[in-house]
C-alpha cells in the first residue's frame, strides 16, 4: 500500500519553501509512489482537520507543484502561532488563553493514517517537532529561516536570499547617503542572531555593524563617524540587527502577545536617537522588515532547498525519523532534530568573520 506522508511549513515564511515542497512531491510521487498530504498553516492543520482557510489540507499532485520553484512564500500557508503545546484558544469569557492540544494532534495524525510527516521550519518548529517525536510521531525536519540561527547545519535555506536583499538595499542606501552627507541606519532581521547583519553589512561595506552578540556603546560609533568626516567621508552606513542591544541594556521589543515570540522593533531608531545626542548629523532610519522574507529565492537557496527536500523524502522512505536534513561541508546529511535545537547558532564575537570585519575597520560599537 502507498505510504501516506504529510508535509507542512511552520514559523515565518522565507524564500525556498516552495522549492522544498516541490522536491518532496516529485521524489515522493515519482520515486516512492506516496500519497502526500499538504497540511495547511503549520500545526493549525493538524489541530483542526477541517481548516478551511484559505485552502485547507489537501492531497498534493505533481500539478500542484508545477511552476513554484522560483516563487517566494509557501503554497501551504504557515504560522508562527501554531504551537500545539501552547495553543491559543478562546477562554469563554471574551479573552484568550494558552492550552496544550498536542494529544489532539497525535490523534489526528493517526486518524489521517500518516506514515510520516515532513516539517519544514526554524528553531521553534524543530523544537515542536522534537516534542512530537518524543510522543511517537514519525517526523523528519527541514531547516529553514532567514535568520540562519538553527544549530547542527551550516546553513538554513532562505538566509542567502534575505542577505542578498539586505545587501542590495544597503547598496542603494549608500548612493543617497553619499548625495546627502547623511548617517543612514539600516535595520535588518535575524531575531537574536546577527547573521544577516554581519554578512549583509560586510557585503554592503557598512561602517558599523551592531549585532545582538556584541552589545554596543554609542560613543565609539559617534567617534567613527567623526573620524570618517575628518578623512573626507561625510556619510556613514550603520547596519543594525533588530536584536542589537546596548551594553547593559535589553533588546527593543513590543510586549509579548499570547502564543507569540516577543516582537523585536525599534533597534535602529533607538541607536539614531542616542547618537543624535552625541553628534550633529542628519540621520535616517530604514527598517527592511518583511521585504527580506519575500520574493524569488536565489539560485543558492533553490538548490539548497531542493537538496533538502530530496534528502527529507529519502529519510522518510527509509524510516529514519527524528532527524533533520542539514548542510555540512557541502554535503546534505541527517542530524538528530534534538541536536539542531539544543542550542541556537549565534555569531561568535571572536570568530573569523568578526575578526575580518574589525580588521577592515568596521565598528561594532565596542
Ligand atoms: O524568524 C524569522 C523572522 O523574520 C525574524 O527575523 C523576525 O524577528 C521575525 O521572524 C518576524 O516575525 P513576524 O513575521 O511574526 O513579524
- Whether residue 205 is predicted with pLDDT greater than 80 in this model: the reply is yes
Give residue 259's pLDDT. 78
CA angle 25, 28, 31 (to 5 degrees): 125
Q: Is the CB of 191 under 6 A from ligand 1?
A: yes
Superfamily grouping for domain 160-294: Phosphofructokinase domain (3.40.50.460)
Structure confidence at residue 53 (pLDDT): 67
Question: Is the CA virtual torsion 304, 161, 10, 266 positive or negative?
Answer: positive
The C-alpha cell at 206 is: 557598512
Sketch the domain layout of the chain as residue ranges: 4-157+297-342, 160-294
pLDDT at 255 over 90: no
Q: Which residues pair with 117 in a beta bridge?
A: 6, 139
310 C-beta closer than 6 A to ligand 1: no
Q: Closest Cα to atom 13, ligand 1: which residue?
A: 12
Q: Is the CB of 80 inside a 6 Å radius of any atom of ligand 1?
A: yes
Would 4-157+297-342 and 160-294 be classified into the same CATH topology? yes
CATH 3.40.50.300 fits 4-157+297-342, yes or no: no
CA distance 76 to 15: 13
**Percentage of the chain exceeding pLDDT 90:** 96
Cβ neighbours for 45, distance < 8 A, ≥ 6 positions apart: 8, 39, 51, 56, 57
Query: Quick one: pLDDT at residue 273?
Result: 98
For residue 348, indicate whether it is catalytic.
Answer: no
Does the beta carbon of 146 sit less than 6 angstroms from any atom of ligand 1?
Answer: yes
12 lines ligand 1 (CB under 6 A): yes
What's the rounded Cα separation, in Å, for the pair 157 and 293?
Answer: 11
Bridge-partner residues for 264, per DSSP? 253
CA neighbor of 349 nearest in space, from 221, 215, 237, 217: 215
Q: In what order do the strands lie in the sheet with 58-60?
A: 58-60, 35-38, 4-9, 116-121, 139-143, 323-328, 331-336
Name the catalytic one among 13, 41, 83, 147: 147
Give the C-alpha separation, 223 to 358, whole Å.
15
Please state the length of the chain.
366
User: Percent of the chain at pLDDT above 70?
Assistant: 100
CA–centroid distance, 117 to ligand 1, in Å, is 24
| β-bridge mates for residue 323, sequence order | 140, 336
Average pLDDT of span 88-105: 95
Q: Is the CB of 197 under 6 A from ligand 1?
A: no
The residue to mutate among 10, 73, 77, 147, having the most atoms of ligand 1 within 8 angstroms of its beta carbon, is 147
Helices (H), the chain: 17-26, 44-47, 102-111, 123-134, 159-180, 195-203, 218-230, 267-276, 299-318, 337-342, 352-359
Nine cell digits for residue 60: 498534493
27 alpha carbon to ligand 1 midpoint, in Å?
Answer: 30
Closest protein CA for atom 10 of ligand 1: 12
CB atoms within 10 A of CB 277: 8
Contact criterion met (CB below 8 Å) for 244 and 211: yes
Q: What is the pLDDT of residue 55?
A: 83
Q: pTM, whole model, 2 decimals?
A: 0.97
Structure confidence at residue 176 as a pLDDT band (50, 70, 90): very high
- Is the C-beta atom of 190 inside 6 A of ligand 1? yes
The pLDDT confidence band at residue 226, using thresholds 50, 70 and 90, is very high
In sign, the C-alpha dihedral spanning 18, 24, 30, 35 is negative
Whether 351 shows a pLDDT value over 90: the answer reads yes
β-partners of residue 271 are: none
CA angle, 271 then 275 then 277, to 5°: 130
Closest ligand 1 atom, CA of 243? 8
Alpha carbon of 264 to ligand 1 centroid (Å): 8
Strand ranges inside 189-262, DSSP E: 208-210, 236-241
Please, what is the average pLDDT of the chain? 97
Indicate the pLDDT class of residue 260, thresholds 50, 70 and 90.
confident
Mutate to test the pocket of ligand 1, among 80, 212, 259 (most ligand atoms within 8 A of CB): 80
pLDDT of residue 343: 96
pLDDT at residue number 100: 98
Q: How many CB atoms lie within 10 A of CB 117?
A: 25
Question: What pLDDT sits at residue 81?
Answer: 92
Taking only the tens place, the pLDDT of each residue in 13-70 is 999 999 999 999 999 999 999 999 999 999 999 999 998 767 899 999 999 999 999 9
Residue 230: pLDDT over 90: yes
Cα–chain-centroid distance for residue 299?
Answer: 18
Contact 10, 139 (CB under 8 A): no
Per mean pLDDT, which range of 178-187, 261-270, 323-332 is the poorest? 261-270
Ligand 1 mean position, distance from CA 112 (Å): 31
Place of cell 515564511: 13
Amino acid at each position: 500500500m502507498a505510504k501516506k506522508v504529510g508535509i507542512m511549513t511552520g514559523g515565518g515564511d522565507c524564500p525556498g519553501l516552495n522549492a522544498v515542497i516541490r522536491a518532496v512531491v516529485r521524489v515522493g510521487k515519482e520515486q516512492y509512489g506516496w500519497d502526500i498530504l499538504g497540511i495547511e498553516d503549520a500545526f493549525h492543520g493538524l489541530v483542526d482537520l477541517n481548516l478551511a482557510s484559505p485552502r485547507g489540507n489537501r492531497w498534493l499532485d505533481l500539478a500542484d507543484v508545477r511552476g513554484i520553484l522560483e516563487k517566494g512564500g509557501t503554497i501551504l500557508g504557515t504560522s508562527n502561532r501554531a504551537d500545539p503545546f501552547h495553543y491559543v484558544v478562546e477562554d469563554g469569557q471574551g479573552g484568550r488563553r494558552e492550552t496544550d492540544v498536542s494529544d489532539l494532534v497525535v490523534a489526528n495524525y493517526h486518524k489521517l493514517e500518516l506514515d510520516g510527516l515532513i516539517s519544514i521550519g526554524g528553531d521553534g518548529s524543530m523544537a515542536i517537532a522534537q516534542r512530537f517525536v518524543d510522543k511517537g510521531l514519525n517526523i523528519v525536519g527541514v531547516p529553514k529561516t532567514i535568520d540562519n540561527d538553527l544549530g547542527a547545519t551550516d546553513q538554513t535555506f532562505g538566509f542567502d536570499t534575505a542577505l542578498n536583499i539586505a545587501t542590495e538595499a544597503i547598496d542603494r542606501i549608500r548612493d543617497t547617503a553619499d548625495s546627502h552627507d547623511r548617517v543612514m541606519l539600516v535595520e535588518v532581521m535575524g531575531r537574536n542572531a546577527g547573521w544577516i547583519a554581519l554578512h549583509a553589512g560586510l557585503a554592503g561595506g557598512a561602517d558599523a555593524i551592531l549585532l545582538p552578540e556584541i552589545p554596543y556603546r554609542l560613543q565609539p560609533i559617534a567617534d567613527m563617524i567623526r573620524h570618517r568626516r575628518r578623512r573626507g567621508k561625510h556619510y556613514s552606513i550603520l547596519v543594525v540587527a533588530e536584536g542589537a542591544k546596548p551594553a547593559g541594556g535589553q533588546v527593543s521589543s513590543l510586549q509579548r502577545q499570547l502564543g507569540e515570540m516577543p516582537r523585536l522593533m525599534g533597534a535602529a531608531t533607538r541607536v539614531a536617537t542616542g547618537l543624535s545626542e552625541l553628534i550633529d548629523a542628519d540621520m535616517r532610519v530604514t527598517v527592511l522588515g518583511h521585504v527580506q522574507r519575500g520574493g524569488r529565492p536565489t539560485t543558492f537557496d533553490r538548490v539548497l532547498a531542493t537538496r533538502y527536500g530530496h534528502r527529507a523524502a529519502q529519510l522518510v522512505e527509509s524510516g529514519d525519523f527524528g532527524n533533520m536534513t542539514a548542510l555540512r561541508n557541502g554535503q546534505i546529511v541527517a542530524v538528530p532534530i534534538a541536536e539542531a535545537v539544543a542550542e541556537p547558532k549565534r555569531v561568535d564575537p571572536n570568530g573569523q568573520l568578526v575578526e575580518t570585519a574589525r580588521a577592515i575597520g568596521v565598528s561594532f560599537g565596542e
